Structure 1
Amino acid sequence: MSDAAHLLRELHLGRATDDPLVLPGPWDAASARAFEAAGFPALATPSAGIAAALGYEDGSTPADEMFAAVARIVRAVSVPVTADVEGGYGLAPEELVERVLETGAAGVNLEDSDGGALKDPHEHADRLAAVRAAAGDALFVNARVDVYLRGVPDPADAALERALLYAAAGADCVYPIVGPPEDLPALRAGLGDGLPVNVLARPGGPSFAELGRLGATRITFGGGLLERTLGHVRDLAEELRGA
């Protein structure tokens, strides 16, 4: 196990319920350094944020450019970085793990939908198991669950079913993206206390401490922090235009 992967894994364990792990999402080396300087112990790259920073639509970043962007972020900081690599870019599990490890990332985020449609959960679980086998303990594997994003019926039940499959396949953490906070307690109860749950922070939503009390172990932001930053940039542009 790499030191960074070991540290990232330890950061998820034994946390107080009102103290979830907050992982800002840098989109480039400069933002990564700013988040590290603020004292965050680890970072989580957002594929949507990196796509926007590179001039692509979300989901259309070429694999080589995504891996290169992650590598630049990892080189810029001394804290562990976990990388969102979307659905894995069609790479076989062994090659995917090799490419992620080459960036220096300590973790990986993998989603269970493709082209806007959910993958078969059993087939995806098999892929996660293959990623785990290829990575050993060298990567912290966060399994994104897209049932809420895709609008399936009874998403809470579907999220728990998929999360249990992915945990059995070796995932270190599950991530029911855009799931409502009120569904967290039931998910937490169904999973038990041992498996970390990643929650997406959303503007106007509960505080980090409240999300933790509801069942979140870890909090990430997707491309939201870049969007907030761009709001400041737009204000600056208007100020300069009017000067």
Structure 2
Amino acid sequence: MTSPSELPSTPAPTTEFEIFRGLHYRDQPLVLPNAWDFASAALLATEGFPAIGTTSLGVAAAAGLADGAGVTETETLAMARRLAGLPVPVTVDIEGGFHEIPSAVADFVKQLAACGIVGVNLEDGRAGSALAAPDHQAELITAIKNRTPEVFVNARVDTYWLSLDHSSTHDRVRRYAAAGADGIFVPGLTDRTGIEQIVAATDLPVNVLYSATGPTVATLAELGVRRVSTGSLLYRAALSAAVDVARAVLQDAPVSSGIVTYPDIQRLLPAR
């Protein structure tokens, strides 16, 4: 009988990509907070979150631009360059890839990878509340993985998010998995049975968007979900909190305690 000491050991992850990918195969789902600037990302990293994502709404709105319109390529790349130095893996929301030509999308992701980004969120929703053709979206995924295999492609299926063509969801999941995706993301899906069916339809880790009215993280874990994203929730909560404080000052009312201090923020910022 082989003793435990003689059994082969599993090699420890050696790259940021392997570390990030491994976070999707643990006993508990990866709770991925989505940041919108350097300070929010750095603060979340100091709180112990093992990986950070970005929210395309936060990045776009901070620049005065519309989300989901494919107009924030420059802002997204600039944000990626700032966040890549964080001590945890970073994945970036790139909307639909900012291009429809597969080689151009792959070129953009290559730039992100060169910065140190380990993952992208690629959605099949398009401006005007439309869905990309699944075969074309599959081509984009394949082009990315062929160019940068060590980038985790989280293939987002927007049938529920846009309330369009729910019947094509499983087909899209299968096509994107076959195209080389590393994960499947179905935002807007909060029904337990629907989530279970998606999990059963693919061997890839399934990502859902957290919803305050949907299943708890513990329940999502029981359903087989491997990643739970906050999306734009943190950004919207921060804006709401800022307005609440401004109103309190205007009305000479008490300001909420526990607000992060100026020195706390300063300590997050790299010395130049």
CA distance in structure 2 between the partners assigned to 1:21 and 1:79 by the alignment = 13
Identical residues among aligned pairs (%) = 37
| Structure 2 counterparts to residues 1-243 of structure 1, below 5 A | 3-13=15-25, 15-16=26-27, 19-60=28-69, 61-75=71-85, 77-90=86-99, 92-115=104-127, 116-136=129-149, 138-153=150-165, 155=166, 157-182=167-192, 183-191=194-202, 194-243=203-252
> Residue 208 of structure 1: CA displacement?
0.8
Given residue 153 of structure 2, which amino acid in structure 1 is its aligned partner? V
Scaled by the length of structure 1, what TM-score is found? 0.91
Task: Find the structure with the greater CA-based Rg.
Answer: 2
Specify which structure has the higher proportion of helix.
1
SS of the aligned residue for 2:214 comes to: coil
CA distance in structure 2 between the partners assigned to 1:202 and 1:26 by the alignment = 17
Contact 1:172–1:195 under 8 Å retained in 2: yes
Tell me the alpha carbon deviations over residues 123-146 of structure 1, each in whole angstroms, 9 at most, x when there is no partner: 11122111110112x201100001
Any runs of at least 4 consecutive aligned residues in structure 1 with deviations exceeding 4 A, and if so which?
Answer: none
- Quick check: 94-103 or 61-70, which moved more? 94-103
> Residue 215 of structure 1: CA displacement?
2.6
CA distance in structure 2 between the partners assigned to 1:2 and 1:171 by the alignment = 21
CA distance in structure 1 between the partners assigned to 2:242 and 2:124 by the alignment = 33
Give the RMSD, CA atoms, in angstroms: 1.7
Ranges in structure 1 where 5+ consecutive residues have no aligned partner: none
Scaled by the length of structure 2, what TM-score is found? 0.81
Given residue 143 of structure 1, which amino acid in structure 2 is its aligned partner? A
> Residue 2 of structure 1: CA displacement?
7.8
- The total of aligned residue pairs comes to 234
The higher-RCO structure (CA 8 Å, 6+ apart) is 1
> Residue 213 of structure 1: CA displacement?
1.2
Given residue 78 of structure 1, which amino acid in structure 2 is its aligned partner? P
> Residue 68 of structure 1: CA displacement?
0.2
Ranges in structure 2 where 5+ consecutive residues have no aligned partner: 1-12, 253-272
Given residue 110 of structure 2, which amino acid in structure 1 is its aligned partner? E
Given residue 216 of structure 1, which amino acid in structure 2 is its aligned partner? V
